[in-house]
Structure 1
């Protein structure tokens, strides 16, 4: 199906990929893994022809194989409707279906029945060759599985959320049923139900699949081979099995390498010790002098000097042998400790035991815009925090009435995105917001952070609570600023200190002078974490924080969050993360 031979890709003087060789067979499902910046997305773009490699070959068999590619950041035709995008993805099928319908109608409206019947049979054969009515059922299952079944066909793509756009792109790709399905981070923006459906679809897909994913469970359940890109050597290694098999194999490889290196160092130390002893003995023998009152000892001195010369020659010969070994391919290199994300949220500033109170909260984007256009007195009902005692419940402090005009308008709106939500959060709690996409989880975080205004209800923050919002769309970042400028604007530190700090987030060398807009999505996620650390918050609002982080960075992030002593409210569809981290869950229904 696909053969990549000696592929090389450079960006100026920087080599990104070199000596890349692999074969992907028809029907094989392969996962591509590696740290952020290792070149995974670059390799995929080279395969689909969006970028030209600087060396090597990429061959498809057959040459006209249909390739389906979903990039990390997918944005479809914003001016089109959902129905138009879906029909374009199945253009041949839609055309065949329309022709069959035309021929069916012609059977009852023509006098030349034989010709009409012949045309109908040809149209039916073409329709069946493309999947026929079974394809319609599969298309409906794809849309339903990805949570798009309830979206009207005349909905503008521009009106969809970022997650819905990504899922629409995935749906159009799956509807094409390509010979080779290439997916770059397909699990981002998927809720748990859609993720489980996609797992099943990819696992059962009869054709070839090449997928980049940082969801460990997804890789375990969908692939039978792992291609691992090394960010240090820019090369690729192949491992049979799923992701867990790959990590076990890497662990065994490292254990063997560590043992071999240790044995080698012991041998080198022993040889160097022997050489030093021979040299020392040679020097001592060279320095032996004949006593002045005993000329008969000259023969002894001559023998000692002979031995000293022999020892010196032996030492030199062993030195040369050791040097040749150290310069040869037989030498075992020291196992490298890969520089990983060093994340520490630090000690949060002191705050009250009562952190957050949400009371009878109502919000809807459509209702908000309509209400604003009809009511010039529209204003926030959020209340600024007031001094209070440590043990006093926040609910007891809510006394201001909800705007009567807001209540009246809400009653006219029918079902709202968030309708009458109430809950409290206390110091140190780990709360997960769970539910399908589009049920208001991200919106709630923005309401708590003060980025949106509720229609009615109250949001109260506790005493001395400092909120930090980590948005899944990297809202904390300005694309025009450099990485270094972003950090310097957050805290008054000198450039050296800022660069040292960024090094903990894997930004080194000239990478700190790169604009945020030029950074990969994974790099932006790490930079957004750096900004959050600098802000020193005691209430973290995290919206899909694992999106775009590679597996190593995810593990460091999870460890840092476990050590954090503040309060956390998180939206995440990573099942393993939620299971291990969340102490409390708040469910949102579609």
Structure 2
């Protein structure tokens, strides 16, 4: 099905894969795992033949379906006349088949005549998944397919993949999904730039990997003891100034140098994001007020005559299913798009830090350092130090934004948000591409933030611990005081 031989690939000075090889057989369900930025999404892009290796060859037999992590990367979706054309390009499916699949992926209310361009990020992701599943390709490549789904949607995807009789390669931070859906793991080793193969599901992989790491540590400890003993021997021989003593010292020193060269490299600990939110700039009692705002895209009305105000220091959870207008409202408050009617009144000292789930404010042709310096107006040396807090070290800051993984773009976006003294943070799904530990670190920092905050998240635990003061409910357009009874609205998608 898939044969990869002597694969090498990288971006600029960063090498992702170095002379690695692996194979995947027919009907195998494979989980692709590794830290953020190690090359998981890049490997799927190479397998889908949207990129080509620097060296080596990739052989794929059969048709390929690829659902990318970032829906904006799906050119066919953006160019499609309507939902029907996008889902049914070969014209072989009946409308009832399309609607059934849409309903399974929580898009049952979607009009087949509507344009995909006006959909939210979550809806676009589901639509791309829907199209791939309808095509039933021989090789299905899925990059975080359930990010925007509730429990029922995730269960349906698990069941579908369990019965899918063709090959699947899956990237997911959803441990339940990846554990129940795969029978093999491909692990990208960040140190060796090789791809390691493990049989079994994700839980078995973790067990085997731990056993391998424990064996490595024991071997390393034995070798380090040998080195220490030889070093002590060299020191003792320095006291012996006879010709024989000098000769023994030289021989032992050579053996010591050879042994040190053979010592395995200690894998660096994965650095966690240390998120520091600065004191917010002074602002008035009402940072932002919306008066009779309305917005529509063609015949699709998103909301009408919204009125609300936000008080300084409030934490507001913006809740509602995908497509209810949350992202549109956020973009209006942030000045990215204008309302069709009404106005948004802002305090003269308002400074907004905006995190977008789709990263649409990034210039893909700029590198990390250029992006950060331009946005935060810092000297290069100070900017590099700041980016280092987010594990962007050394030459990494010169990497093009377009080549970053979803997790790396999340880290960069949060770095940009925290690089200035903003007094209003607007965060649209800030934890989507992050692992559990990074989510925890971000949450702890946000809980200490003294400014005003608007947060969109479908993660109940995240919203519960953030403990917002109010909830703005969509599509109702209603502001309510927060209570845990509203937690059920968090998971609505």
Question: What TM-score bracket applies, with the shorter chain setting the length?
Answer: 0.7 to 0.9
Q: For residue 278 of structure 2, what is the aligned residue in structure 1?
A: 346
- Residue 324 in structure 1 maps to residue 258 in structure 2: yes
Matched-pair contact (CA < 8 Å) for 2:227–2:259: no
Among 408, 418, 421, the alignment partner of 1:536 is 421
Question: For 1:417, what is the secondary structure of its paired residue?
Answer: strand
Task: Give the Cα–Cα distance (whole angstroms) in 2 for the partners of residues 241 and 575 of structure 1.
Answer: 31
Q: For residue 88 of structure 2, what is the aligned residue in structure 1?
A: 87
How far is 1:506 from its partner? 4.0
Q: For residue 46 of structure 1, what is the aligned residue in structure 2?
A: 46
Cα gap change, 1:327 to 1:160, in 2 (>3 Å): closer
How far is 1:482 from its partner? 4.4
Q: For residue 303 of structure 2, what is the aligned residue in structure 1?
A: 417
Equivalent runs, 1:283-432 vs 2, <5 Å = 283=241, 310-328=244-262, 331-349=263-281, 363-366=293-296, 417=303, 427=313, 429=315, 431-432=316-317
How far is 1:485 from its partner? 3.2
Q: For residue 320 of structure 2, what is the aligned residue in structure 1?
A: 435
Task: Give the Cα–Cα distance (whole angstroms) in 1 for the partners of residues 318 and 103 of structure 2.
Answer: 23
- Residue 213 in structure 1 maps to residue 145 in structure 2: no
Matched-pair contact (CA < 8 Å) for 2:11–2:403: no
Matched-pair contact (CA < 8 Å) for 1:499–1:512: yes
Q: Does 174-183 or 153-162 show the bigger shift?
A: 153-162
| 1:71-93 deviation line (CA, Å, top 9, x unaligned) | 2322325252222222225x345
Equivalent runs, 1:443-458 vs 2, <5 Å = 443-449=328-334, 451=336
Question: For 1:536, what is the secondary structure of its paired residue?
Answer: coil
Cα gap change, 1:468 to 1:40, in 2 (>3 Å): same
Matched-pair contact (CA < 8 Å) for 1:261–1:333: no
Equivalent runs, 1:105-124 vs 2, <5 Å = none
Task: Give the Cα–Cα distance (whole angstroms) in 1 for the partners of residues 205 and 462 of structure 2.
Answer: 20
Task: Give the Cα–Cα distance (whole angstroms) in 2 for the partners of residues 221 and 79 of structure 1.
Answer: 34
Among 141, 145, 152, the alignment partner of 2:104 is 145
How far is 1:532 from its partner? 0.9
Task: Give the Cα–Cα distance (whole angstroms) in 2 for the partners of residues 519 and 188 of structure 1.
Answer: 18
Cα gap change, 1:576 to 1:13, in 2 (>3 Å): same
Matched-pair contact (CA < 8 Å) for 2:356–2:427: yes
- Residue 499 in structure 1 maps to residue 384 in structure 2: yes
How far is 1:317 from its partner? 4.1
Q: For residue 431 of structure 2, what is the aligned residue in structure 1?
A: 546
| 1:128-150 deviation line (CA, Å, top 9, x unaligned) | xxxxxxxx876433211223322
| 1:104-144 deviation line (CA, Å, top 9, x unaligned) | xxxxxxxxxxxxxxxxxxxxxxxxxxxxxxxx876433211
Alignment RMSD, CA only? 4.0
Q: Would you tell me which structure has more helix in proportion to its own residues? A: 1
Q: Which runs of 5 or more residues in structure 2 are unaligned?
A: 476-492
Cα gap change, 1:418 to 1:21, in 2 (>3 Å): farther
Q: For residue 20 of structure 2, what is the aligned residue in structure 1?
A: 20
Matched-pair contact (CA < 8 Å) for 2:5–2:22: yes
Task: Give the Cα–Cα distance (whole angstroms) in 2 for the partners of residues 158 and 85 of structure 1.
Answer: 11
Q: For residue 131 of structure 1, what is the aligned residue in structure 2?
A: none
- Residue 176 in structure 1 maps to residue 62 in structure 2: no
Task: Give the Cα–Cα distance (whole angstroms) in 1 for the partners of residues 398 and 264 of structure 2.
Answer: 36
Task: Give the Cα–Cα distance (whole angstroms) in 1 for the partners of residues 448 and 185 of structure 2.
Answer: 32
Equivalent runs, 1:179-328 vs 2, <5 Å = 179-190=138-149, 194-243=153-202, 245-247=204-206, 249-251=208-210, 253-280=212-239, 282-283=240-241, 310-328=244-262
Question: For 1:228, what is the secondary structure of its paired residue?
Answer: strand
How far is 1:502 from its partner? 2.6
Matched-pair contact (CA < 8 Å) for 1:356–1:459: no
Question: For 2:9, what is the secondary structure of its paired residue?
Answer: strand
Q: For residue 103 of structure 1, what is the aligned residue in structure 2?
A: none
Cα gap change, 1:215 to 1:454, in 2 (>3 Å): same
Question: For 1:76, what is the secondary structure of its paired residue?
Answer: helix
How far is 1:325 from its partner? 2.5
- TM-score of the pair, normalised by structure 2: 0.78
How far is 1:236 from its partner? 1.5
Matched-pair contact (CA < 8 Å) for 1:525–1:548: yes
Matched-pair contact (CA < 8 Å) for 1:76–1:165: no
Task: Give the Cα–Cα distance (whole angstroms) in 2 for the partners of residues 23 and 440 of structure 1.
Answer: 44
Task: Give the Cα–Cα distance (whole angstroms) in 2 for the partners of residues 463 and 11 of structure 1.
Answer: 43
Task: Give the Cα–Cα distance (whole angstroms) in 1 for the partners of residues 149 and 116 of structure 2.
Answer: 17
Cα gap change, 1:346 to 1:21, in 2 (>3 Å): same
- Residue 67 in structure 1 maps to residue 46 in structure 2: no
Give the greater-gyration-radius structure (CA): 1
| 1:325-370 deviation line (CA, Å, top 9, x unaligned) | 2233xx3433422445443223444668x777878x7654229x89
Question: For 1:88, what is the secondary structure of its paired residue?
Answer: coil
How far is 1:543 from its partner? 0.3
Task: Give the Cα–Cα distance (whole angstroms) in 1 for the partners of residues 153 and 82 of structure 2.
Answer: 22
Q: For residue 5 of structure 1, what is the aligned residue in structure 2?
A: 5
Matched-pair contact (CA < 8 Å) for 1:355–1:465: no
Task: Give the Cα–Cα distance (whole angstroms) in 2 for the partners of residues 568 and 264 of structure 1.
Answer: 53
Question: For 2:329, what is the secondary structure of its paired residue?
Answer: helix
Question: For 2:425, what is the secondary structure of its paired residue?
Answer: strand
| 1:384-442 deviation line (CA, Å, top 9, x unaligned) | xxxxxxxxxxxxxxxxxxxxxxxxxxxxx9x863676768667374x443332011222
Paired residues, number: 471
Question: For 2:168, what is the secondary structure of its paired residue?
Answer: strand
